[in-house]
Amino acid sequence: MTGAPKARAAGPLLLGVRHHGPGSARAVRAALEARAPRVVLIEGPPEADAIVRLAAEKDMRPPVALLAHAADDPGRAGFWPLAGFSPEWAAIQWALAHEVPVRFIDLPAANSLAMSAKETRAAEPAPTGPPAPAVPPDPAAEPAPAVASAPAGAPTPGDPAAPGDQANLGDQADPRGPADPGAPADPGGQGAPAAPAARSAERLRVDPLSVLAEAAGYDDPERWWEDVIEHRGTGGTEAFTAVAEAMAALRAEYGHGGHEDDAVREAHMRLRLREARREFGDDEVAVVCGAWHVPALGERTSVTADRKLLKGLPKVKTEISWVPWTHRRLARHSGYGAGITSPGWYDHLFHAQDRPVERWLTKVAGLLRAEDFSVSSAHVIEAVRLAETLAAMRGRPLAGLAETLDAVRAVMCEGSDVPIALVRDRLVVGDVLGEVPETAPAVPLQRDLTRTQRSLRLKPEALEREQELDLRKETDAGRSRLLHRLRLLGVDWGTPAVSRGSTGTFRETWRLRWEPELSVRVAEAGVWGTTVLSAATAKAETEARSAKGLAEVTELAERCLLAGLSGALPVVMRSLADRAALDADVGHLAQALPALVRSVRYGDVRGTDTAALGEVAVGLTERILVGLPPACVGLDADGAAEMRRHMEAVHRAIGLLSETATETGAAATGAGAETETGTEGRPHTQTGARPAETRSAGPGAADGLRARWAAMLRSLAGRDGTPATPGLIRGRAARLLLDDGRLAEDEAARLMGLALSPGTQPPEAASWIEGFIGGGAGGGMLLVHDERLLGLVDRWLISVPAEAFTDVLPLLRRTFSAYDTGVRRTLGELVRRGPSVDGPTGGQGAPAAPGFGPGLDPDRAAAVVSTVRMLLGLDPAPHANDTMEAAR
């Protein structure tokens, strides 16, 4: 780029840019080379002056971001993202390479974060007027979002991002709105009131790119910007002059364009610019900022007027550091106000200055081949020709993203949009994750996390991936503990997933993806401790003390076991014992038991002693056995549905607890350890009626616990009368007994017959049916294979009076709609044919169901024997009695 000779320069060099654009970045670099200023001023928080030199270190790889957060509230934070193709990054790299000072001139993060906090506390802004985005008062456009990144929520990183970003970064279209509540109404403090047209539009957010693109006859602002800036060569400073003139015209027409906070920010920029001009001289200063701000920086205003705008701004103590960023978080769809639509494409344009289209389509071909699409070199050649032809037909200087994607769709994807979606996700946007050097400022917790990640060889990556862990291996067990500890701290780097391979309890599957805002979560978690272990322990202890419900504490106990927080368990167990002793609500006890039993059952996979948990689990089980029957009386429909869920959860938990005791007892017997003290420390042996019995209990005690639960279910299943146990509960109790083999089929049929007898009100009978065969828990297949039960339901339904049928219908629809389509179809066919109620059919010489032949056909059965044996992994050679075996 050829700039004006230094001798002819008049005043500071104002380079108005779009915050993330490869053309702007190249032009800035060329302009700085031509002008060679003695100082470079950049739009950004002045607090970053102290750490800007880290950008020159070899371990610093963009995209990265400046992260500023309130020292006493890390959740209140703001990001200023920079990519390799960002003009600001190009200016920083040029200045550091030429040993030229770099200074940031935007409103300090100390002010912008304080103002954003003030806004979130204040009631909704009250702009009385037109529609408008009630502008949030945050001077630094982005920090405002940063508040979104507060504890709970996932701030769209874009949110927090770039305070200054918004509107001004050339594409500034959508400044996230900040309007400084306390700032003077005079936009810009420039004194001159806005024109009438400006006043009429002052509450509308103006997108300069859209306005300029429309004026140039484009319907797509991105395409216009690419044609005018990104696809041009380095050019000269004329491009910056033209953009500045266009922005000046827009500001004359639209005033502040809805970015009311810009007046405060620009006042601070002018003050910093004056300081640099006094120190280095008018012609020795270069400013890189959003194009929207250039007219304001060139205006003549008094120092007094600018200081008046900044007087009385709230302030908060802040800390600032560099953090990794991702291309995905630079994308506009992430919520980032100054985002772009194609960061991956822009990064390619910046780094592949020669033959960019050919190189891009080669990348696309490589991606599609990796995904098993058939793409050859000929496809690439034809796609290049088509893209260039489309660009010529559309009058574009270079084939852009639209042309290359159209060419890829037509040539490589055979017109399908499915591969195109993959290209957009992986290449057009991309998952590049930046890196920062270890010397960058960071909270102690972040440093410990980085060391742990390195020792466990678990590298953060922007691309989501699945990680299979084998807990029998020390490294994988350490990874599991780390991920569980981070989840307890609110740093959701990994989320548990269902394993597609082994279902053993020694395996875990995680989905890992590092998002930039997790750096804020780590900073927030730093208040709990300086290491991941100490922080997780401290937080677990605090949550145990402050937990309001028993279920919360049992869930916390399970998480502590998974995370290996043995230091927190004493506090958690005391809290658990206290709440278990005081809580008399059976529902609460039933909610707490499953998590507790899972901990007892699987805790030893990680080598954790869970004896104390086992004692509490047995105690809870005892209290549930006593309290559940009376708790089931007199419930309404909603209460019965909730109690049914509790009953099912407790049933599974007791089964698991009994299995644990059985296995532990068997292991102890095999080892010759049959005394009470021999199993005292084993959590999985606790199944007796009392803790002391539990510790010495073996399979017999396990069976006893299960037998007592079965006896209680039998009492529930047989209850009737008023006030009665709801039919939903009685039906589910009968079904649980039947599934466990503790209720004979004849007895189940008898109970159903009683429930569906004429003396039972239809709604109550329908409720019993829902409990027995509803919920999609195999009830449909039970009816398919037991025609007696189906016949009972069929006859009862036919006998329901017309006036009661309407009341019964919703319950029946809810019950049968949970079945698979095939099950419903089979039931319908059986009912149409008229199922037999004399007993199940089948067997040689047995009467056949209507529509089926009598008995078995040996020849047809023999035809499938070899296939069945192969599926079962048996010798495929048939044996003499295979036919009858297959029939049975």
Q: Is residue 550 part of a domain?
A: no
Convert the pLDDT of each residue in 348-386 to its tens digit.
Answer: 988 887 888 999 999 999 999 999 899 999 999 999 999
- In total, how many domains does the chain have? 6
Q: Is residue 551 part of a domain?
A: no
Q: Comparing C-alpha atoms, which of 649, 799, 643, 656 is closest to residue 731?
A: 643
| C-beta atoms surrounding 45 within 10 Å | 27
Both tokens of residue 320? 């600032």
Better-scored residue on pLDDT, 411 or 773: 411
Both tokens of residue 708? 């007592």
d(CA 294, CA 188): 12
The count of C-alpha atoms lying within 13 angstroms of the C-alpha of 778, restricted to the half-sphere facing its C-beta, is 8
Residues 751, 734 share a domain: no
Residues 600, 485 share a domain: no
d(CA 585, CA 457): 47
Residues 221, 128 share a domain: yes
Domain end (from 743, 773, 796): 743
User: What is the domain range of residue 458?
Assistant: 452-532
d(CA 257, CA 246): 14
Determine how β-strand 73-82 pairs with β-strand 285-290.
unpaired
Both tokens of residue 715? 């009492």
Q: Is residue 573 part of a domain?
A: no
CA-based R_g, the chain, Å: 36
Residues 769, 690 share a domain: no
Contact 490, 417 (CB under 8 A): no
Residues 275, 159 share a domain: yes
Domain end (from 743, 769, 787): 743
Q: Is residue 555 part of a domain?
A: no
For the residues 191-203, what does the mean pLDDT come to? 38
Q: Comparing C-alpha atoms, which of 543, 41, 76 is closest to residue 273?
A: 41
Task: Determine if residue 353 is left, alpha or beta; phi over 0 gives left, psi from -120 to 50 gives alpha, anything else beta.
Answer: alpha
Cis peptide before 343 (omega within 30 of 0): no
d(CA 596, CA 557): 7
Length, in residues, of the chain: 888
Residues 142, 10 share a domain: yes
Q: Comparing C-alpha atoms, which of 566, 540, 567, 570 is closest to residue 555?
A: 540
Q: Is residue 194 part of a domain?
A: yes
Give the sheet arrangement for strand 318-324, strand by strand.
Answer: 73-82, 64-70, 318-324
Domain end (from 277, 305, 334): 334
Q: Is residue 135 part of a domain?
A: yes
Question: Where residue 881 falls among pLDDT bands split at 50, 70, 90?
Answer: low
Does the pLDDT of residue 45 top 90, yes or no?
Answer: yes
d(CA 620, CA 603): 18
Residues 123, 198 share a domain: yes
Better-scored residue on pLDDT, 884 or 94: 94
- Looking at residue 186, its pLDDT comes to 33
* Cα 273 to Cα 43, 345, 530, distances in angstroms: 11, 34, 40
Chain position carrying tokens 């030893």: 604
Better-scored residue on pLDDT, 157 or 834: 834
* Cα 690 to Cα 401, 615, 621, 685, 695, distances in angstroms: 72, 8, 10, 12, 9
Does the pLDDT of residue 105 top 60, yes or no?
Answer: yes
For the residues 665-691, what does the mean pLDDT come to? 38
Q: Is residue 540 part of a domain?
A: no
Q: Which helix (H) or strand (E) holds 79?
A: strand 73-82
- Looking at residue 223, its pLDDT comes to 81
Residues 358, 327 share a domain: no
d(CA 496, CA 30): 49
Q: Is residue 876 part of a domain?
A: yes
Task: Determine if residue 382 is left, alpha or beta; phi over 0 gives left, psi from -120 to 50 gives alpha, anything else beta.
Answer: alpha
- Looking at residue 775, its pLDDT comes to 62
Convert the pLDDT of each residue in 699-733 to its tens digit.
Answer: 444 456 778 888 888 888 876 544 577 888 888 88
Better-scored residue on pLDDT, 888 or 364: 364
Both tokens of residue 158? 């874009």
Both tokens of residue 717? 């299943």
- Looking at residue 605, its pLDDT comes to 54
Residues 671, 528 share a domain: no
Q: Comparing C-alpha atoms, which of 469, 464, 457, 461 is closest to residue 499?
A: 469
- Looking at residue 197, its pLDDT comes to 40
Residues 384, 323 share a domain: no
Residues 870, 832 share a domain: no
Q: Comparing C-alpha atoms, which of 835, 816, 740 is closest to residue 774?
A: 816
Classified as helix, coil or strand, 876 is coil
DSSP state of 463: S
| C-beta atoms surrounding 763 within 10 Å | 16
Of 283-292, 469-478, 723-732, the range with the lowest mean pLDDT is 723-732
Does the pLDDT of residue 408 top 90, yes or no?
Answer: yes
Q: Please give, one letter per residue, the 3-state secondary structure of 712-724.
A: HHHHHHCCCCCCC
Per DSSP (E only), the strands in 596-656 are: none
In 718-756, which residue ranges form alpha helices assigned H by DSSP?
727-739, 745-755
Convert the pLDDT of each residue in 411-469 to its tens digit.
Answer: 999 898 999 999 999 999 988 888 999 888 888 888 899 999 999 999 888 888 888 88
Mean pLDDT of the chain: 76
Residues 837, 875 share a domain: no
d(CA 508, CA 303): 63
